[in-house]
Amino acid sequence: MRIAMVSEHASPLAALGGVDAGGQNVHVAALSEHLARTGARVVVHTRREDDALPRRVPMARGVVVEHVDAGPPSTLPKDQLLPFMGEFADQLLATWRRDPPDVVHAHFWMSGLAALRAARPLRIPVVQTFHALGVVKRRHQGDRDTSPRLRMPLEAMIARKADLIVATCSDEVFELLRLGADAARISVVPCGVDLDLFRPDGPAAPRAAGRHRLLYVGRLVERKGIGNIITALAGLPDTELLVAGGPDRAHLIDDPEASRLAALAERLGLRDRVHLLGRVERAALPALMRSADAVVAVPWYEPFGIVPLEAMACGVVVVASAVGGLVDTVVDGVTGVQVPARSPARLAAALRRLLAEPERRSQLGLAGAARARRRYGWGRVAASTLDLYRPLTRSLFATRPWVAR
């Protein structure tokens, strides 16, 4: 099977930790690689952000990343990319006329917009994964939401016109139904975790004696709730917080959110207990996670959340806000602890109890590792996704007999 992934702003080759580089990049890269392991051929179409990048870059056996010329060849915030999606779609159409894929899988709403425009004239089925919905973002961020004004009506159009929507969690299904999507065209397939990299056995990063350690991993953006973790830390003596994410450590001083977090720690008298690490190489994350007493993920909202899965796979207990995909992955009291979002007092109370009970932490960590291995391996996720593609491609062959099989 020939699969076209469309991921307009989230290249699978990008360094993680930036404002617009996170879970979607990981998802597209891992899903593409594991689909290719089944024998599929995958091309990932992403917007060119650098003139020096080759048109096509092999990523893994059976996977190629194709850089699409749309707008200036420079890094732009994703919320500024909508004006270039027509050009993006025209490039896709030209490419697919020459070499049509069997199915297109679009990631994020702007990718869906371009994919539908390019695929419809060629009668290629389009699968859509939103990764985040504008209506949810606006609900939680209000006037601070920088999304284009047309995002929500365009998402509703995409939800109605895509041949299939792959939601990543049950919470997203209800939001999609409110947008007018047909329930019969929605399936839930979660994101996955690299079980070879993230595992309970292996070395742990060094840590100071006599202190508990909490760890946050992810982008440095306000909605991720890092400020709430720092505020909660004020009520947790003998505990340090490591924050892994954002630009390289040498450039943290130029990052507005890093500066805000550092100022908050200073104001609360926590400068010696809050450590902003900057971007941490992915290969170093498992050891860092295994060194922590708990990984804390308390965003205001979260479409899915891959980091909690990675921590669970490492056998580390996760404290998560009860929002979005975290409600599905972190089972409260069984594989981790759930707390309300934007509630530093409740977070501090939950962490205080957890840090006082090492045996409970161990039990929750073991249960989390078992759940991650049983349900969230990328091989399983890819197989479930492929099962959804197949009926669409059978229909494709019936309507497009000229497609080489």
3-state per-residue secondary structure call for the chain: CEEEEECCCCCCCCCCCCCCCCHHHHHHHHHHHHHHHCCCEEEEEEECCCCCCCCEEEEECCEEEEEECCCCCCCCCHHHCHHHHHHHHHHHHHHHHHCCCCEEEEECHHHHHHHHHHHHHHCCCEEEECCCCHHHHHHHHHHHCCCCCCHHHHHHHHHHHCCEEEECCHHHHHHHHHCCCCHHHEEECCCCECCCCCCCCCCCCCCCCCCEEEEEECCCCHHHCHHHHHHHHCCCCCEEEEEECCCCHHHHHHCHHHHHHHHHHHHCCCCCCEEEEECCCHHHHHHHHHCCCEEEECCCCCCCCHHHHHHHHCCCCEEEECCCCHHHHCCECCCEEEECCCCHHHHHHHHHHHHCCHHHHHHHHHHHHHHHHHHCEHHHHHHHHHHHHHHHHHHHHHHCCCCCC
Burial environment of residue 64 by CB neighbours within 10 A (0 to 12, 13 to 18, 19 or more): middle
- Does the pLDDT value for residue 278 go beyond 60? yes
Mark whether 234 and 338 lie in a shared domain. yes
* 135 touches 150 (CB < 8 A): no
Among residues 199, 201, 165, the alpha carbon closest in space to that of 182 is found at 165
* β-sheet bridge partners, residue 128: 106, 165
| Average pLDDT of every residue of the chain | 93
Mark whether 254 and 139 lie in a shared domain. no
- Examine residue 197 and state whether it is found in any structural domain, yes or no: no
241 — phi, psi (to 5°)?
-125, 125
Mean pLDDT for the stretch of residues 249-260? 94
- Examine residue 165 and state whether it is found in any structural domain, yes or no: yes
* 12 touches 25 (CB < 8 A): yes
- Does the pLDDT value for residue 371 go beyond 90? yes
Range of 88's domain?
2-192+378-399
Q: What is the rounded CA–CA span in Å between residue 256 and residue 52? A: 29
Mark whether 282 and 384 lie in a shared domain. no
* 301 touches 137 (CB < 8 A): yes
- Does the pLDDT value for residue 398 go beyond 70? no
At CA 265, angle to CA 263 and CA 270, rounded to 5? 145
- Examine residue 364 and state whether it is found in any structural domain, yes or no: yes
* 31 touches 106 (CB < 8 A): no
What's the pLDDT at 20? Answer: 43
Mean pLDDT for the stretch of residues 310-322? 97
Mark whether 149 and 272 lie in a shared domain. no
Q: Give the Cβ contact number of residue 209 at 10 Å.
A: 4
- Does the pLDDT value for residue 400 go beyond 80? no
- Does the pLDDT value for residue 81 go beyond 60? yes
* β-sheet bridge partners, residue 212: 239
Cα separation values, 111 from 6, 115, 312, Å: 6, 6, 31
Cα separation values, 324 from 78, 171, 207, 327, Å: 22, 6, 32, 6
- Does the pLDDT value for residue 394 go beyond 90? no
Q: What is the rounded CA–CA span in Å between residue 395 and residue 405? A: 13
- Examine residue 360 and state whether it is found in any structural domain, yes or no: yes
Mark whether 171 and 222 lie in a shared domain. no
Mark whether 369 and 383 lie in a shared domain. no
What's the pLDDT at 19? Answer: 47
Mean pLDDT for the stretch of residues 192-214? 95
- pTM score, whole prediction: 0.87
What's the pLDDT at 304? Answer: 86
CATH code of residue 385: 3.40.50.2000
- Examine residue 203 and state whether it is found in any structural domain, yes or no: no
65 — phi, psi (to 5°)?
-100, 125
Mark whether 272 and 186 lie in a shared domain. no
Q: What is the rounded CA–CA span in Å between residue 369 and residue 376? A: 10
Mark whether 358 and 388 lie in a shared domain. no
What's the pLDDT at 21? Answer: 52
**Total domains, the chain:** 2
* 24 touches 7 (CB < 8 A): yes
> What confidence category does residue 17 fall into, taking pLDDT thresholds of 50, 70 and 90?
very low
Tens-place pLDDT, residues 282-301 = 999 999 999 999 999 999 98
- Does the pLDDT value for residue 15 go beyond 70? no
- Does the pLDDT value for residue 52 go beyond 60? yes
- Examine residue 41 and state whether it is found in any structural domain, yes or no: yes
What's the pLDDT at 14? Answer: 79
Q: What is the rounded CA–CA span in Å between residue 267 and residue 271? A: 8
What's the pLDDT at 161? Answer: 97
Residue percentage of the chain with pLDDT more than 90: 87
- Examine residue 119 and state whether it is found in any structural domain, yes or no: yes
Among residues 100, 106, 11, the alpha carbon closest in space to that of 54 is found at 11
> What confidence category does residue 303 fall into, taking pLDDT thresholds of 50, 70 and 90?
confident
At CA 258, angle to CA 254 and CA 262, rounded to 5? 115
Mark whether 7 and 95 lie in a shared domain. yes
Mark whether 305 and 254 lie in a shared domain. yes
User: Between residues 235 and 394, which one has the greater pLDDT?
Assistant: 235
- Does the pLDDT value for residue 396 go beyond 70? no
- Examine residue 371 and state whether it is found in any structural domain, yes or no: yes
Mean pLDDT for the stretch of residues 66-88? 96
Q: What is the rounded CA–CA span in Å between residue 95 and residue 401? A: 19
Mean pLDDT for the stretch of residues 357-382? 97
Q: How many CA atoms lie within 13 A of 285 on its CB side?
A: 31
Mark whether 308 and 224 lie in a shared domain. yes
Mark whether 343 and 233 lie in a shared domain. yes
